[in-house]
Structure 1
Amino acid sequence: MNLHDDLLDVRAVAFDVDGTLAGGDHRVSPRTLRALADLRAAGVEPIIVTGRILGAATAILADAGIDGYAVASNGAVAVDTRDSDPLHTAFMDPDEAQSVVAFCEGRAVEPSLFTVDTMVVEEGSVIHGLLVAADPTAATRAVPPGELPYAESTKAVIFGEPGTLDALDAEVRAVFPRMVRSMDTAFEMSAAGADKWAALSAVLERLGIPPERCAGIGDGENDVVWLSRVGFPVAMGNAREPVRVLARLQIGHHGDEAVAELVEALLEARSAR
């Protein structure tokens, strides 16, 4: 793999998780975890930047055997795992969270509200089982409709079959202008002013690393803003079109451990140089 010198000179790499760092089973492979640890050992800071809840984001670093920085819930929360106080936290307006849930009523889609540490769905939702299956270690809770945590929400998600969401695309974006298509099966929206870039920039400032010395790897629409601001944006082979357009490099599919392959090639090239 031939890599540009600009990539070899980065001081940090930010990783989206679902569709990027994680495989088709939504888990981060042992090979990929080793790559994160090796990156840190080489003096390059790995940063998790995900739509997952905080515990699921920090668990990736823990599984890699390292401390560090994680951005969760699409930028609503940012932490240094060595510090008990978060760098950044933002909550949705309760009325806005409630309007997302109301939008799903009568349509073939289902809502979920994320808090800092829990994914919450309505009782009877088929999404509950899917979320548990995708990440058994993450906190997932089913509650009566009247008990959804509107005042504590960091992110609202609309789940559905890809074709259903395709058909609703224009309507969803018209009603909720901040909604982005993070995956084929999900639209999501965080608090106003909270996005992955706002949180990542706070992390980079803490590290003293300018954005142009940071690479980023992602696949979804919720990655477009932050990828466009780092020095070396990388698109997955499975990335949505807006990500591919802005990327300086496109790698393989997330199901083929393409991120691990890239990190291994990066470290080999740095060592050879």
Structure 2
Amino acid sequence: MNNILSVVLDLDGTLLNTQREVSPRNLQAVLDCHKNGIQIIIATARPSRSVRMLLPEELLQLGCIIYYNGAHTVDSSYQSEDHVLIDHETVSDLYDAITARSGELLVCFEAQDAMFSNRSLASEHFDILGMPSDAPVPTVLSREEISRLCPSKLLFPNVQNIYTELKSSFSHRVKLILTDGSRLVQIMNSSVSKAGALGQVLSRRGLHPDQAMVFGDDYNDLELFDLCGYPVAMGNAINKLKIKAARITETNDDDGVAAVLEALLQSRSIQQDS
């Protein structure tokens, strides 16, 4: 663990507790790592506007955030920004397939740091989408307007396991992920992943993936666990992550991130003193 030079943090279910807050202990541990020369990289499914609402200002200034599961990366330390979109034709075909299966299903589209949808949100959708109650509601678009979108991501509830049907039909064209207790389907460009985006970030910094510690809890973190040298699964993580983990920490409500980062800093301190 003493070769760790970067820490990669998922947000929901990981750094954020169930109230979608960063605890004082987690915040201090992350900032202490940064002060000790460990590079902090955030990798989340969320868009930038949502991250700005949820994270303390100190964490927003640490240099690199990967959004939309890797579809949008802002590496301000290197004045670099990457954005990978889904093309018009694929969006139109996906939307037709979704509405053919369930015409009443809510479908949301993330484009240009704004959310759009095919219908108004019901109260239960806020929880499924991970949206704070005071977040701006999506702009409702017509079918014609939807066909002109090139979004970063599509999101919709996994009603009647529509995920399985779409994966069978579209896995060669897009990246499909099932998250949030199998309740939410997320779709990105086929080339997109947190791991792909992180690989570019680490290369830019002259770091090897073996020097990265990563924390995660859900399916969209699996490729990160395969890439990074020291994967840490949260106590509330899915079993597939726990199997791959070098360490299983406490849950996101019990400061699992801080527990490992404090041990990392203590280990480095002992090594330096010896």
Structure 1 residue 109, shift from structure 2 partner? 4.5
1:118-177 CA deviation, whole Å, 9 max, x = no partner?
2322332226644797346866523233334853311112224xxx46x44432321332
Partner residue of 1:81 out of 76, 80, 92: 76
Runs of 4+ in 1 over 6 A off after TM superposition: none
Q: Partner letter of residue 181 of structure 1?
A: L
Deviation at 1:183, TM superposition (A): 1.8
Residue 22 of structure 1 is matched in structure 2 by 16
Asked if structure 1 preserves the Cα contact closer than 8 Å seen for 2:177 and 2:185, the reply is yes
Query: Are the aligned partners of 1:58 and 1:70 in contact in 2 as well (CA < 8 Å)?
Result: no
Q: CA deviation at 1:258?
A: 1.1
Which runs of structure 2 are paired with 1:127-166 in the superposition (5 Å)? Answer: 129-130=126-127, 134-135=131-132, 140-146=137-143, 147-148=145-146, 151-160=149-158, 164=159
Cα distance in 2 for residues equivalent to 1:22 and 1:38: 18
**1:183 equivalent among 180, 196, 204:** 180
Paired residue for 1:70, among 65, 76, 80? 65
Distance 1:9 1:168, change over 3 A: same
User: What is the rounded CA distance, in whole Å, between the counterparts of 2:195 and 2:242 in structure 1?
Assistant: 18
Asked whether the 8 Å contact 1:55–1:117 carries over to 2, the reply is yes
Helix, strand or coil at the partner of 1:70? strand
Contact 1:74 1:194 in 2 (8 A): yes
Distance 2:269 2:148 in 1: 50
Give 3-state SS (helix, strand or coil) of 2:85's partner. Answer: coil
3-state SS of 1:37 partner? helix
User: Over the residues paired in the alignment, what is the CA RMSD in angstroms?
Assistant: 2.7
Give 1:83 deviation, angstroms.
Answer: 5.5
1:228 alignment partner, SS class = helix
Q: Who is 1:93 aligned against?
A: 87
Contact 2:110 2:154 in 1 (8 A): yes
Distance (Å, rounded) in 1 between the aligned partners of 2:65 and 2:93: 29
Whether the 8 Å CA contact 1:50–1:72 is kept in 2: the answer is: yes
2:41 is aligned to 47
Q: Secondary structure of the residue that 1:223 maps to in structure 2?
A: helix
Partner of 1:3: none
Q: Distance in 2 between matches of 1:209 and 1:254?
A: 27
TM-score (norm 2): 0.84
| 1:234 equivalent in structure 2 | 232
The 3-state SS of whatever aligns with 1:238 is: coil
Q: 1:139 to 1:30 in 2, by over 3 A?
A: farther
Structure 1: gaps of 5 or more residues:
1-6
> What does residue 36 of structure 1 align with?
30
Q: Following the alignment from structure 1 to structure 2, what is the Cα–Cα distance between the partners of residues 265 and 135?
A: 32
Are 1:113 and 1:120, in contact at CA under 8 Å, matched by a contact in 2? yes
2:121 to 113, 121, 125: 125
Aligned AA (2:41)? I
Aligned 8 A contact 1:215 1:231 in 2: yes
The worse-fitting range, judged by mean Cα deviation, of 77-86 and 257-266 is 77-86
Q: Aligned letter for 1:62?
A: E
Secondary structure in 1 matching 2:240:
helix
Q: Quickly say closer, same or farther: Cα 1:63–1:111, change in 2 above 3 A.
A: farther
Q: Which segments of 5 or more consecutive residues in structure 2 lack a partner in the other structure?
A: none
Residues 92, 152 of structure 1: 8 Å contact kept: yes
Q: How far off is 1:63 after superposition?
A: 3.9
Specify the SS of the correspondent of 2:28.
helix
Aligned to 2:111: 115
